[in-house]
Protein backbone atom coordinates (compact mmCIF):
# COMPACT_ATOMS: atom_id res chain seq x y z
CA UNK A 1 0.00 0.00 0.00
CA UNK A 2 1.32 3.42 -0.96
CA UNK A 3 1.42 6.35 1.45
CA UNK A 4 1.17 8.90 -1.35
CA UNK A 5 -2.31 10.04 -2.27
CA UNK A 6 -3.53 8.86 -5.63
CA UNK A 7 -3.06 11.44 -8.35
CA UNK A 8 -5.46 11.33 -11.23
CA UNK A 9 -4.36 11.35 -14.83
CA UNK A 10 -5.77 14.87 -15.30
CA UNK A 11 -3.78 16.17 -12.34
CA UNK A 12 -0.57 14.61 -13.67
CA UNK A 13 -1.20 16.25 -17.03
CA UNK A 14 -1.85 19.62 -15.35
CA UNK A 15 1.40 19.34 -13.38
CA UNK A 16 3.29 18.39 -16.51
CA UNK A 17 1.73 21.30 -18.42
CA UNK A 18 2.78 23.76 -15.68
CA UNK A 19 6.30 22.35 -15.66
CA UNK A 20 6.55 22.63 -19.44
CA UNK A 21 5.17 26.18 -19.37
CA UNK A 22 7.79 27.13 -16.77
CA UNK A 23 10.56 25.54 -18.83
CA UNK A 24 9.29 27.28 -21.96
CA UNK A 25 9.36 30.62 -20.16
CA UNK A 26 12.92 29.99 -19.03
CA UNK A 27 14.00 29.04 -22.54
CA UNK A 28 12.40 32.19 -23.97
CA UNK A 29 14.29 34.30 -21.44
CA UNK A 30 17.55 32.60 -22.38
CA UNK A 31 16.81 33.09 -26.09
CA UNK A 32 16.31 36.81 -25.55
CA UNK A 33 19.62 37.03 -23.68
CA UNK A 34 21.44 35.20 -26.48
CA UNK A 35 19.75 37.34 -29.14
CA UNK A 36 20.89 40.47 -27.31
CA UNK A 37 24.47 39.22 -27.41
CA UNK A 38 24.17 38.43 -31.10
CA UNK A 39 22.74 41.86 -31.89
CA UNK A 40 26.20 43.48 -31.65
CA UNK A 41 27.79 40.90 -33.91
CA UNK A 42 24.96 41.04 -36.42
CA UNK A 43 25.07 44.84 -36.51
CA UNK A 44 28.76 44.61 -37.47
CA UNK A 45 27.81 42.15 -40.20
CA UNK A 46 25.26 44.68 -41.46
CA UNK A 47 27.95 47.38 -41.52
CA UNK A 48 30.30 45.16 -43.49
CA UNK A 49 27.53 44.33 -45.93
CA UNK A 50 26.72 48.04 -46.36
CA UNK A 51 30.41 48.78 -46.97
CA UNK A 52 30.56 46.01 -49.56
CA UNK A 53 27.53 47.44 -51.37
CA UNK A 54 29.09 50.91 -51.24
CA UNK A 55 32.33 49.58 -52.72
CA UNK A 56 30.52 47.74 -55.49
CA UNK A 57 28.77 50.96 -56.51
CA UNK A 58 32.09 52.75 -57.08
CA UNK A 59 33.87 52.60 -60.43
CA UNK A 60 36.48 49.82 -60.72
CA UNK A 61 39.05 52.33 -62.00
CA UNK A 62 38.99 53.95 -58.58
CA UNK A 63 38.78 50.85 -56.40
CA UNK A 64 41.30 48.57 -58.14
CA UNK A 65 44.34 50.80 -57.50
CA UNK A 66 43.27 51.25 -53.87
CA UNK A 67 42.89 47.49 -53.48
CA UNK A 68 46.29 46.89 -55.09
CA UNK A 69 47.96 49.31 -52.67
CA UNK A 70 46.19 47.64 -49.73
CA UNK A 71 47.25 44.15 -50.82
CA UNK A 72 50.84 45.29 -51.41
CA UNK A 73 50.95 46.91 -47.97
CA UNK A 74 49.63 43.83 -46.22
CA UNK A 75 51.98 41.61 -48.21
CA UNK A 76 55.00 43.64 -47.07
CA UNK A 77 53.96 43.81 -43.43
CA UNK A 78 51.00 41.64 -42.33
CA UNK A 79 50.67 43.41 -38.97
CA UNK A 80 49.25 46.38 -40.88
CA UNK A 81 46.16 44.30 -41.50
CA UNK A 82 45.08 45.06 -37.92
CA UNK A 83 46.06 48.74 -37.88
CA UNK A 84 44.47 49.84 -41.15
CA UNK A 85 40.85 49.09 -40.29
CA UNK A 86 41.21 51.05 -37.04
CA UNK A 87 42.71 54.00 -38.87
CA UNK A 88 40.06 53.83 -41.58
CA UNK A 89 37.31 53.75 -38.97
CA UNK A 90 38.86 56.72 -37.14
CA UNK A 91 39.11 58.68 -40.39
CA UNK A 92 35.50 57.85 -41.22
CA UNK A 93 34.31 59.05 -37.81
CA UNK A 94 36.33 62.27 -38.24
CA UNK A 95 34.78 62.73 -41.68
CA UNK A 96 31.31 62.33 -40.19
CA UNK A 97 32.02 64.93 -37.50
CA UNK A 98 33.33 67.42 -40.06
CA UNK A 99 30.31 66.81 -42.29
CA UNK A 100 27.94 67.39 -39.36
CA UNK A 101 29.60 70.70 -38.49
CA UNK A 102 29.33 71.87 -42.11
CA UNK A 103 25.62 71.06 -42.26
Instruction: Mark whether 101 and 64 lie in a shared domain.
Output: yes
- What proportion of the chain, given as a percentage, has pLDDT over 90? 25
Higher pLDDT, 66 or 25: 25
Whether the per-residue pLDDT at 1 is higher than 70: the answer is no
**Predicted confidence band of residue 3 (pLDDT cuts 50, 70, 90):** low
In this predicted structure, what is the pLDDT of residue 92?
87
- Maximum Cα interatomic distance, the chain, rounded to a whole number of Å: 90
- Which residues form the domain of 75? 60-103
Residue 69 lies in a domain: yes
Instruction: Mark whether 65 and 53 lie in a shared domain.
Output: no
Domain count for the chain, please give it: 2
- DSSP state string for 27-86: HHHHHHHHHHHHHHHHHHHHHHHHHHHHHHHS-HHHHHHHHHHHHHHHHH-TTHHHHHHH
Amino acid sequence: MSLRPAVSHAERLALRRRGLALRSSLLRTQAVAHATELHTVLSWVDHVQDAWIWLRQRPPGLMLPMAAVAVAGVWRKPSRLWRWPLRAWSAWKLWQRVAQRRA
